[in-house]
Amino acid sequence: MTNAALPVRENPVSEERAEAQPWWRGAAIYQVYPRSFRDTNGDGIGDLPGITRGLPHIASLGVDAIWISPFYRSPQADFGYDVSDYTDVDPIFGTLSDFDTLVARAHELGLRVLIDQIYSHCSDQHPWFTQSRADRTNPKADWFVWADAKADGSPPSNWQSVFGGPAWTWDARRGQYYLHNFLPQQPQLNGHNPQVQDALLSVAQFWLDRGVDGFRIDALNFAMHDPRLRDNPPAPDDGRPRTRPFDFQQHLFNQSHPGIIAFIERIRALTDRYGAIFTVAEVGGDNALAEMRAFTAGPRRLDSAYGFDFLYARNLTPALVCDALSAWSGEGDEGWPSWAFENHDAPRAASRWWDEQHHEAGVRLKLLLLTALRGNIILFQGEELGLHQDEIAFEDLRDPEAIANWPLTLSRDGVRTPLPWRADKPQAGFTTGTPWLPLGAGNRVRAIDRQEQDEGSVLNLVRALLRLRRSHPALRLGAFEGCSGDDDLLSFDRLWKDARIRCLFNLSLHHTRGLASLPPEARVLMAVNGASPEGLPPLGGLLVQL
């Protein structure tokens, strides 16, 4: 299977832009979390046929692509991010034939298909690790990060796991410790080993040959470690909550090795052979901005990267937006940013930023803001419905991180609950069985079928916003200029040639004064929550063409 041409989408930005820019620049991408999207066989877990059945809904939003979270064979210790076979579909999700059908249908609907690639670790049940742990002399002995104990039997370094506890686990068969930056069931691949890189590139080629249009690369800055295994220094107390031992260190040596760049260039060389492939890296940590820039600089590296500027932010402020967006000037060989307010790892944004009374208005404001950002924008499934963060009782938790750190960490399970399709159906139409996570009553009433019938729904707002972004080059492709914040009033401009769009957002819960800076001829393109040139009500937002 090859990457077939896609049908022409409605509301193109312009013929000139279509010829001059790659399809992904300024794209809107919809993230699908397979376990929770749609179940077709009644086992309570979403599957690939369910995604295929739901593609018309996604296409109706006006997005350019879907990103599908892992569906590979896996013991599901971390729900697919612990891969035991990179080139097969886990039976709970379907078959390779189901995946091929999904890709073909997506392309028919004008949607590109991006999939996750996990290059920093795999499952402890992967045949690579089974062979590697057998002894110290087998052909894959150096495919993972092994090290002898210190003289007192303690781990080789002080590195801590993201999910809590030491990043080293003792293995009696080898008589050594192995590294895992996440769960012990996710041993760290030795990205320094050229054979490991070759194997991972073969995985990428397998899926490119099946017609995928790009990759979201998970935790890429964890792909290589310091071979000297030096201890991480302690992190100064900056006032942020520390809920895990991981939070007490500066992560200088367990991740972010300079050698990652050369591996990235190998990835790019491969994807360039397939044409218009899009690559975006997930990059977290205190040095994320510098790494995102390095990973995307110039034409030989990745196309884009996204970090956690908004994903874990406790409050939405003008300073947060201005700092994040101003860091990407678009000058020189700088890469292209991507932005997300929610994903499978981060709680629902409106539930983080506003109380229940202001939830609906907050949802509309954040969607308008997302539409106006320079870069690619990513919608997590259910964001188009304005879903709340579901409250999950401890006995119903499935997320290993939430269980280990309960109750100090907001559960990832609360954002992963099933997508509601039909408000009046059992389990909101997601499944005929018992869903793997419970869906809250507050989200059931926000089901797709109910919002389809309401012209003023969040769902129809999203469609209107994406049509607007698609039809205005200034929003999709334009420069970002003049970001300022005054008493919670956020303002910035988007520019494309002679077009200028002013973007105004009242992030506060009080009314703003009149917007005297707007000229009389300014044309309102979109307003939410009662905003107008005369003023912005609480959480009001306005896009105007000057």
pLDDT band at 409; cut points 50, 70, 90? low
Angle formed by the axes of helices 260-272 and 288-296, nearest 10° = 40
- The domain of 30 spans 15-122+192-226+255-469
* 118 shares its domain with 137: no
DSSP annotation string for 384-442: GGTPPPPP--GGG---HHHHHHTTTS--GGGGSSPPP--TTSGGGGS-SS--SSPPPHH
Total domains, the chain:
3
Q: Is 218 a catalytic residue?
A: yes
CATH number at residue 485: 2.60.40.1180
Residue 4: inside a domain? no
Residue 220: inside a domain? yes
Considering 469, 496, 511, which residue would you say is the last residue of a domain? 469
Helix (H, G, I), strand (E, B), or coil: what is residue 307? coil
Per annotation, catalytic residue among 78, 282, 309, 345: 282
Say if residue 45 is exposed, middle or buried (CB neighbours under 10 Å; 0-12, 13-18, 19+): buried
Residue 142: inside a domain? yes
Considering 469, 504, 532, which residue would you say is the last residue of a domain? 469
Cis peptide bond upstream of 407, omega within 30: yes
Per-residue model confidence (pLDDT) at position 18: 41
Strand order in the sheet with 176-179: 146-147, 176-179, 168-171
On whether the CB atoms of residues 123 and 83 are closer than 8 A, the answer is yes
* 456 shares its domain with 514: no
Question: Taking Cα atoms as reference points, which of 290, 299, 229 lies closest to residue 264?
Answer: 299
* 293 shares its domain with 382: yes
The model scores a pTM over 0.75: yes
* 65 shares its domain with 206: yes
* 390 shares its domain with 402: yes
* 270 shares its domain with 176: no
CATH number at residue 88: 3.20.20.80
From the centroid of its chain, how far is CA 253? 25
Residue 151's φ and ψ, nearest 5 degrees, are -55, -30
253-302 tens-digit pLDDT:
999 999 999 999 999 999 999 998 999 999 999 899 999 999 999 999 99
From first CA to last CA, the distance across the chain in angstroms is 47
Per-residue model confidence (pLDDT) at position 332: 85
The stretch 370-381 carries a mean pLDDT of 98
Residue 2: inside a domain? no
On whether the CB atoms of residues 267 and 201 are closer than 8 A, the answer is yes
Residue 10: inside a domain? no
Please give the share of the chain, as a percent, with pLDDT higher than 90: 85
The position carrying tokens 């000139």 is 16
Considering 412, 438, 469, which residue would you say is the last residue of a domain? 469
Please give the share of the chain, as a percent, with pLDDT higher than 70: 95
Per-residue model confidence (pLDDT) at position 331: 86
Question: Taking Cα atoms as reference points, which of 336, 337, 364 lies closest to residue 349?
Answer: 364
198-239 tens-digit pLDDT:
999 999 999 999 999 999 999 999 999 999 999 999 999 988
| Residue type present at position 93 | F
Residue 491: inside a domain? yes
Per annotation, catalytic residue among 64, 98, 218, 383: 218
Bigger pLDDT: 17 vs 249? 249
Handedness of CA 193, 195, 198, 200 (dihedral sign): negative
Asked if the model's pLDDT at residue 378 lies above 50, the reply is yes
137-165 tens-digit pLDDT:
999 999 999 999 999 999 999 999 998 89
On whether the CB atoms of residues 317 and 488 are closer than 8 A, the answer is yes
Element (H, E) at 322: helix 318-326
* 196 shares its domain with 179: no
Residue 9: inside a domain? no
On whether the CB atoms of residues 265 and 294 are closer than 8 A, the answer is no
* 86 shares its domain with 218: yes
Q: Is 282 a catalytic residue?
A: yes
Rounded-to-integer distance, Cα 426 and Cα 439, Å: 11
| Residue type present at position 297 | A
Per-residue model confidence (pLDDT) at position 442: 95
pLDDT band at 514; cut points 50, 70, 90? low
Residue 1: inside a domain? no
Asked if the model's pLDDT at residue 174 lies above 50, the reply is yes
Helix (H, G, I), strand (E, B), or coil: what is residue 153? coil
CATH number at residue 231: 3.90.400.10
Asked if the model's pLDDT at residue 7 lies above 50, the reply is no
Give the count of alpha carbons within 13 A of 434, CB side only. Answer: 1
Q: How far is CA 470 from CA 14, 379, 465, 528, in A?
A: 9, 15, 9, 18
Per-residue model confidence (pLDDT) at position 112: 98
Rounded-to-integer distance, Cα 494 and Cα 368, Å: 14
* 64 shares its domain with 90: yes
Rounded-to-integer distance, Cα 10 and Cα 341, Å: 26
The stretch 478-492 carries a mean pLDDT of 91
On whether the CB atoms of residues 143 and 189 are closer than 8 A, the answer is yes
* 55 shares its domain with 158: no
Say if residue 437 is exposed, middle or buried (CB neighbours under 10 Å; 0-12, 13-18, 19+): buried
* 167 shares its domain with 203: no
* 51 shares its domain with 199: yes
